[in-house]
Chain A
């Protein structure tokens, strides 16, 4: 039985173990790797992806998917920077950016829940939204980089120092609490596990699903704003392919793509792992192209493990039902 426990731990945390190995090797080769400053640096780098990934985690646990987050990151940055440049109060500027994200999320949610869409439909609808929003983000500046006229204040502080990390970790802790402890979280898990059961249990499936997308949109725009604050400018194409990094963080964290199972805290781990891996590979002098390959493989392995785990569980269940009958 003890052996089985060890196998279970490896199975459930395989990726983390691989990364631990990588960390150990890297820290032996390069002493600068395991320093507080370097790790803080990694955290800062992943915090924007992490913030967006928290919203994505809700979407995926709720049985859907949101590919539009990358474009929302771009658009919210553009809106906020343009508003500030136009002389709007910085809080209002941030609010406009956030509202744009929420609005896009709500549209996604209404479209998908009105057709009772699952992961597949959500994939396509939000992909369409991604293309549309990416284009909208290009209009104001004709696709050019917009430099912000930012004076010190709340907006500027959002992206500086440890603020992005604080925002990211506080948000994640709050969202994990909501997921695990509240009625809303429980409903999310039911909806993601089985839409029909949720509906037939008297849960307002449509409304709840719209909120998942709204939250995803909200956090994507928050991510975009933090990013802009860090570089005090906005680039309307900054969110290009961003959603892939976000999904990678969620998947590596072990949230099930089929919905109903997952954790925001594990998404945080996923984001950190990807960050550490990139950093370690950098330190080891591996080129960016090779790094891409490693990252891609990591995602495939993560999904593979997910499916493998499910199959093993199914087999155990089949075995159980023999005598449970």
Chain B
């Protein structure tokens, strides 16, 4: 028997027109935690979908514990010992924990032997060191708890390999700390974990080996202890990255925006600050601190009850998003899929919507003008799309985000409010967005950047406002812009 629990040999998978996997070989040692990392579209998901039976490879072979493996679907893979925990859980909220674990294969003949079902479920959870009420409906559990139920479900199949797809993406810091020991426990029991994550910190914390994918190939593999963070990033993006963040060189100029004593209901309380030309003003704070509410008040989506907004020293009244747009404000929302873009419309239509007037003659939209505008911005922002008529569904998160930026640049916004501008996009695309922010400020745009990722706001901002409980708790600049100082302001 080989020391590898899993061997994938020269797997190739093509979709019409695209080679998703190009002769990929992956060996995973028994009882290890093996990280699989790569940018969106690198082929991680496709590879894992071949492993869990969703797809069949065009060529290549799978070996499980040295034995040739042919999979007939997800259930077959599960029964042979390969379970996958997807980001979207496969749980039914209205059913109990025990029912979810044994869904579709209840114990007992003819009628369900509930006693045995519940006892088995209880034992599984206890083996993970968990003390859950197994009769509780899954819908009442937190995300973290649901994840643990998924793990118990995998164990109920006698899983040899558990694939976890970004398991911590929606967990809080505390939940993650409780989650890692459980992964460790699985490892101690000889179960192999394939760990897909974007978070490099986690990989260094718990993984044994890391495989990096890019463009449908595995471009590097190493024990985690022998590789550095920078090396991994370099492998992922395919070129050396000098830094995660580009340097800021713009010197802020005159005062562009001045917000005075802005308040709204119990969402915002007495907010005052200034924004200067060419500046990136960061806003940090916990989720729910009022950051998005502030942005929406300035942009006009949810206007303030009291206070004044001055643009270039002139008081303006912003009661709606039309007003905001009129006063050269643009807002890149935190959820581009729900509020930023219509995904089943084309790149062109999504860009021109903010200033249809400029692409029309009279009331009629001119196709050529629209196309010219779209082409211009696709080139300017380096939006990677097969065509300007492509629907946005088929674009990656980073390119979608650039389309949102493009629509506000097209509207001639001078003040850009970016709410979580790099959420859910990969490292290479993040860097591009940062560089774009620099270019924009060089051209005289002013940016308010809201972000929950501290390293990002700390590195990109010229000044940083810290919000807490609907108020601005403090302003940090220069050497004071550190994570510690931010946390102090938030905790006090």
User: A residues bordering B, Cβ < 8 Å?
Assistant: 181-184, 186-187, 189-190, 193-194, 196-204, 260, 317, 319-325
Query: Can you list 25 pairs linking A and B with CB atoms under 8 Å apart?
Result: A182-B363, A182-B364, A183-B364, A183-B365, A186-B365, A190-B345, A190-B353, A193-B344, A194-B338, A194-B339, A194-B342, A197-B338, A197-B340, A199-B301, A202-B321, A202-B322, A204-B322, A260-B342, A317-B393, A319-B15, A322-B45, A323-B15, A323-B43, A324-B41, A325-B396
Given A184-B363, A186-B365, A323-B41, A200 and B15 touching (CB < 8 A)? no
Which B residues are in CB contact (< 8 Å) with A320? 393-394
**When the two chains form their complex, are residues A193 and B342 in contact, meaning their CB atoms are under 8 A apart?**
yes
User: Taking CB as reference atom, which chain B residue is nearest A194?
Assistant: B342
The majority secondary structure among interface residues of chain A is helix
**When the two chains form their complex, are residues B364 and A321 in contact, meaning their CB atoms are under 8 A apart?**
no
**When the two chains form their complex, are residues B301 and A181 in contact, meaning their CB atoms are under 8 A apart?**
no
Quick one: which of A181, A190, A197, A260 has the most chain B CB within 10 A? A197
User: Taking CB as reference atom, which chain B residue is nearest A261?
Assistant: B344
**When the two chains form their complex, are residues B15 and A322 in contact, meaning their CB atoms are under 8 A apart?**
yes
**When the two chains form their complex, are residues B18 and A200 in contact, meaning their CB atoms are under 8 A apart?**
no
Min CB gap B81→A, angstroms = 25
* Distance, CA A183 to CA B365, complexed state (A): 6
Min CB gap B394→A, angstroms = 5
Which B residues are in CB contact (< 8 Å) with A202? 321-322, 324-326, 354, 411
* Distance, CA A322 to CA B321, complexed state (A): 35
B490 at the interface (CB under 8 A from A): no
Per-residue A-contact encoding for B318-334, CB less than 8 Å = 1, 0 else: 00111011100001010
User: Taking CB as reference atom, which chain A residue is nearest B46?
Assistant: A322
B95 at the interface (CB under 8 A from A): no
User: Taking CB as reference atom, which chain A residue is nearest B20?
Assistant: A323
Given A183-B365, A184-B363, A194-B342, A201 and B320 touching (CB < 8 A)? no
Min CB gap A52→B, angstroms = 24
B477 at the interface (CB under 8 A from A): no
B75 at the interface (CB under 8 A from A): no
Beyond A200-B321, A200-B339, A322-B46, 14 additional contacts (C-beta under 8 Å) are A182-B360, A183-B363, A187-B356, A197-B340, A199-B301, A200-B340, A201-B407, A202-B326, A319-B15, A322-B20, A323-B18, A323-B41, A325-B42, A325-B45
User: Taking CB as reference atom, which chain A residue is nearest B391?
Assistant: A317
Which B residues are in CB contact (< 8 Å) with A182? 360, 363-365
Which A residues are in CB contact (< 8 Å) with B363? 182-184
B395 at the interface (CB under 8 A from A): yes
Q: Which of B366-381 contact A (CB under 8 A)?
A: none
* Distance, CA A182 to CA B321, complexed state (A): 21
**When the two chains form their complex, are residues B321 and A201 in contact, meaning their CB atoms are under 8 A apart?**
yes
Min CB gap B302→A, angstroms = 10
* Distance, CA A111 to CA B148, complexed state (A): 46
**When the two chains form their complex, are residues A183 and B356 in contact, meaning their CB atoms are under 8 A apart?**
yes
